[in-house]
Amino acid sequence: MSTLTPSLARGRGRGGVAIQIALALVITVYLWLFLQAQSQIEVCVLLVVAAVAVFAANRFGLTGRIEVATRSSPRAGPWCALIGTLTLIAVFYDVHYVLLLICTVLLFSTACLGLTVQFGYVGIANFAGAAFFGIGSYTIAVLAARTGIPHLLLIVLSGVVSAAIGSILILPVLRTRGHYAALVTIAFGILFQTFVEVNNLLGGPQGLHLPGISTFGYSFSDGLELFDQDVSFYVPYALLSLVIFAAAYVVIKRLERSWIGLSMDVVRTDETAAATFGIHIARWKVIAFMLGNFLAGVAGSVYGMMTGFVSPDNFTFSDSLLLVSIAVLGGLGNPLGLVPAAFIVLVLPQKLQFIQEYRFLFYAVVVIAILLFRPDGLLPRRTRQFFNNEVPR
Q: Considering the complex, state which of residue 157 and residue 328 has its C-beta at the smaller distance from another protein.
A: 328
Minimum Å gap between C-beta 221 and another protein is: 34
Phi-psi region of 123 (alpha: psi -120 to 50; beta: other; left: phi over 0): left
Minimum Å gap between C-beta 67 and another protein is: 25
Minimum Å gap between C-beta 325 and another protein is: 7
Binding site for another protein (CB under 8 A): 123, 125, 127, 168-169, 171-172, 175-176, 178-180, 182-184, 186-188, 190-191, 194-195, 197-198, 272, 317-318, 321, 324-325, 328, 357-358, 360-361, 363-365, 367-368, 371-372, 375
Q: Considering the complex, state which of residue 72 and residue 118 has its C-beta at the smaller distance from another protein.
A: 118
Apex 205 CA angle, 204 and 209, nearest 5: 75
Q: Considering the complex, state which of residue 100 and residue 186 has its C-beta at the smaller distance from another protein.
A: 186
To 10 degrees, the CA torsion angle through 178, 385, 105, 80?
180
Q: Considering the complex, state which of residue 37 and residue 186 has its C-beta at the smaller distance from another protein.
A: 186
Minimum Å gap between C-beta 375 and another protein is: 6
Strand runs labelled E in 268-356: 309-310
What is the bridge-based pairing of β-strands 208-209 and 214-215?
unpaired
Residue 270 DSSP class = -
CA pair distance 99, 242, nearest whole angstrom:
12
CA pair distance 269, 123, nearest whole angstrom:
8
Minimum Å gap between C-beta 332 and another protein is: 9
Minimum Å gap between C-beta 54 and another protein is: 23
Q: Considering the complex, state which of residue 242 and residue 366 has its C-beta at the smaller distance from another protein.
A: 366
Which residue from 222, 251, 223 is spatially nearest to 94, judged by alpha carbons? 223
Minimum Å gap between C-beta 371 and another protein is: 5
Does an H or E element contain 146, and which?
helix 129-146
Is the Cβ–Cβ distance between 362 and 120 less than 8 Å? no
Q: Considering the complex, state which of residue 181 and residue 298 has its C-beta at the smaller distance from another protein.
A: 181
Does an H or E element contain 70, and which?
helix 62-72
CA pair distance 350, 354, nearest whole angstrom:
9
Q: What is the separation of C-alpha 342 from the centre of its chain, rounded to a whole number of angstroms?
A: 7
Minimum Å gap between C-beta 115 and another protein is: 12
Residues across the chain:
393
Q: Considering the complex, state which of residue 105 and residue 367 has its C-beta at the smaller distance from another protein.
A: 367
Q: Considering the complex, state which of residue 102 and residue 328 has its C-beta at the smaller distance from another protein.
A: 328
Minimum Å gap between C-beta 237 and another protein is: 30
Q: Considering the complex, state which of residue 145 and residue 369 has its C-beta at the smaller distance from another protein.
A: 369
Cβ neighbours, 10 Å, residue 103: 24
- For 226-249, give one letter per residue: b (16+ CB within 10 A) or e: eeeeebbbbbbbbbbbbebbbebb
